[in-house]
A and B are shown apart, each in its own frame.
Chain A
């Protein structure tokens, strides 16, 4: 990290806060351990690094869940990462589980297949959460959550999430700080659902550009006109705003029809940490 970036974190401070968050929120749920789905990518590597620091390697479980078409590098990088932090790892091949549904039902569409894989992984993580007596810790960062670049009830499903207020740039920066392996840090981010796929290819803009636009829109409350005046491409700004708006449903609990005087999530208002 040679030159300063406007989203650079105070790294020791961010680490301390996230470790403190993980410890207290997991304890609030009555547990002391964590389960992380480890893809071989940078986001899950960072979640794992933070959990290992918060709970100790002996209380952190890394679950690798490749599908038969997954890039073999992903599994190799996941193993590298799990071993770096000394956590227990489980390898569970999801091919039979996923194929058991998509083959007889002729699911050809790439998005549908990707969603089925993501939800199969979620099912496994939540099952292992019971066996391991640990909470499922999320791996979605702020950039992808805002853009909706995730599968609802799939990779977006978890109990708590230490990365949800970190832009992609900050994930990379913090990962380097916490010693995520170089192979993971340097490869282009990919959902690894189709060969050669990259996040930035799917999205049509770079993460760096998305980060800078989202930071202004969300954190600084600039308007679209402010961004265009600052020199950002109007088409990209519009496309990002559209994605944020269109994917709001993924960030909210299901909508409930209000009939009574006190409705869950409307005017029945208690924290999750209620009496924890």
Chain B
């Protein structure tokens, strides 16, 4: 990041399944951001479609090159780069929970959500195929890692972005509001959990973290807003203190990023080769292939060199019955 970056996070309330209404909203916001000389506009996860799509997933899916995506790209021809969420239909028919990076009139990069969430109220694994890569976007403005919501709940994505030299990590999200019991810190328990998580990612990667979470309700499930920005030392720089729609503008300082990395050179001291060795020691090259084929449980537990918790085995057996 050579120069300061002006950002705008928008916590929107997309209409469920109404791609064209949401597209109009996106285009209005992009035009406003361009007029305000914003460098980067970030919209939430699935901002073009709404979240609990279920059987609507294939109905609202867009192939790369679809006119709706072209119109967003066209709107970025001058000035503002845009992060927006949509359902991508690949040529092979698989649908992905996708986030696009639109810049200079093109859809430059698509991040397919890797960690689909299917527990509790979520069922993404049923509706989407999982992405398999974390790649940093090399923008003229900055190097940017994208993590879609649940991607941020696993440490590997943020770590890989750090290794790839990301300056900032952008986290579009559709996080439901949960946890209303009285607490010392006050507010939603789910918002407090995100706050701790994102501050930790920012601190351990020494990256800026931009979190754009949506608002609104879908069949009684409310989305928690509280979009926020974290500095590379983990400090929360700004936040929308509300579950309602709103935007947050600010500037990311190139100087502060550089200074933090001088003071705390975590990237310099990280040892990815050690991680690689340790993973290979656990899985081995051939086991890694089995892992990628999706049947790693059996191979792993058969390996005498690996300690497998006997209780975990018992749980697996129960599940098979």
Complex Cα–Cα for A148 and B216 (A): 30
- Pick the contact of B54 from A20, A25, A269 — CB < 8 Å? A269
Q: Mark B187-229, 1 if CB is under 8 A from A, else 0.
A: 1100000000000000000000000000011111010000000
Complex Cα–Cα for A217 and B126 (A): 27
- Pick the contact of B216 from A13, A17, A24, A275 — CB < 8 Å? A24
Interchain nearest-CB distance for A21 vs B (Å)? 6
A-B pairs with beta carbons under 8 Å apart, 7 shown: A9-B181, A10-B182, A17-B243, A20-B243, A25-B217, A273-B16, A274-B16
Q: Mark A231-259, 1 if CB is under 8 A from B, else 0.
A: 00000000000000000000000000000
- Pick the contact of B52 from A14, A25, A268, A271 — CB < 8 Å? A271
Nearest 6 pairs of A and B residues by beta carbon: A269-B54, A8-B182, A271-B219, A24-B217, A269-B55, A14-B180
Q: Are A274 and B180 in contact (CB under 8 A)?
A: no
Q: Are B217 and A20 in contact (CB under 8 A)?
A: yes
Interface size on B, as a range, is 20 to 34
Q: Mark A9-42, 1 if CB is under 8 A from B, else 0.
A: 1110110110011001100100000000000000
Q: Mark A179-215, 1 if CB is under 8 A from B, else 0.
A: 0000000000000000000000000000000000000
Residues of B within 8 A of A225 (CB): none
Could you say which of B56, B180, B188, B216 has the most chain A C-beta atoms within 10 Å of its C-beta?
B180
| B183 CB-CB contact with A under 8 Å | yes
Please name 19 further chain A to chain B contacts, defined as beta carbons within 8 Å, in addition to the given A8-B182, A9-B182, A16-B243, sorted by A numbering: A6-B181, A9-B180, A10-B180, A10-B183, A13-B180, A14-B180, A17-B180, A17-B222, A20-B243, A21-B217, A21-B220, A28-B217, A160-B220, A268-B55, A269-B54, A271-B54, A271-B218, A274-B56, A275-B18
Residues of A within 8 A of B52 (CB): 271
Complex Cα–Cα for A92 and B88 (A): 55
Q: Count how many pairs of residues, one from A and one from B, have CB atoms less than 8 Å apart in the complex.
A: 63
Q: Are A275 and B243 in contact (CB under 8 A)?
A: no
Complex Cα–Cα for A130 and B20 (A): 32
A-contacting residues, B39-79, CB 8 Å: 52, 54-56
- Pick the contact of B220 from A8, A10, A25, A270 — CB < 8 Å? A25
| A69 CB-CB contact with B under 8 Å | no
Closest-by-CB residue of A relative to B13 is: A24
| B304 CB-CB contact with A under 8 Å | no
| A7 CB-CB contact with B under 8 Å | yes
| B15 CB-CB contact with A under 8 Å | yes
Complex Cα–Cα for A7 and B244 (A): 26
| A2 CB-CB contact with B under 8 Å | no
- Pick the contact of A276 from B15, B54, B177, B220 — CB < 8 Å? B15
Residues of B within 8 A of A9 (CB): 180-182
Q: Are B188 and A13 in contact (CB under 8 A)?
A: yes
Residues of A within 8 A of B16 (CB): 271, 273-276
